[in-house]
Structure 1
């Protein structure tokens, strides 16, 4: 059986805490109204990004390559999140 390292737990705790914060904001803040599909998409994006970052960190690549790959993955997450929220590229799945 494979044991979890503290870094693995931290990598996957961040998306869980972000989703918990969004859930409590939905409960207590008037203008913050996420539905179940919003939470599902956010969970897929956040935990998918965490999984890729975890995979890259545990790979045999050099530190510089790990930083470049992780930075690219985080940049892709940010661009997709912004597109879903406000539609900066005008794609069919854009928000607003």
Structure 2
């Protein structure tokens, strides 16, 4: 149980550190314009991704299958993030 708590804390800490980047960038440039909703969505996406990767790491024993699943999860995050950010597919979630 203590191991699980350490991993959860690690995931949340990593997400927090990743979100500090845009927050700091907003202080120095007008190129980064995130609102509170942007931070909430980014946090949700990153936390869900972290927990999915953690689930795969714990449940899937075969290294090849684990690698493919984690790669797929990360590619899904990247594609969803790109769609939300700039609308590369022109779907309704991008506001297109």
Count of residue correspondences? 95
Question: CA–CA distance in 1 between the matches of 2:66 and 2:77?
Answer: 16
Q: TM-score scaled to structure 1, two decimals?
A: 0.85
1:14 alignment partner in structure 2: 14
The structure with more helix, counted as a fraction of residues = 2
Question: Which segments of 5 or more consecutive residues in structure 2 lack a partner in the other structure?
Answer: none
* Shift, 1:15, TM fit: 2.1
Q: 1:66 to 1:33 in 2, by over 3 A?
A: same
How is 1:54-69 mapped onto 2 (pairs within 5 angstroms)? 54-69=54-69
2:2 alignment partner in structure 1: 3
Question: Which segments of 5 or more consecutive residues in structure 1 lack a partner in the other structure?
Answer: none
1:74 alignment partner in structure 2: 74
RMSD of aligned residue pairs (Cα, Å) = 2.2
2:51 alignment partner in structure 1: 51
1:66 aligned counterpart, secondary structure: helix
Q: Say whether the 8 Å CA contact 1:15–1:47 is kept in structure 2.
A: yes
Structure 1 window deviating more from structure 2 (56-65 vs 85-94): it is 56-65
Q: 1:65 to 1:33 in 2, by over 3 A?
A: same
Q: TM-score scaled to structure 2, two decimals?
A: 0.85
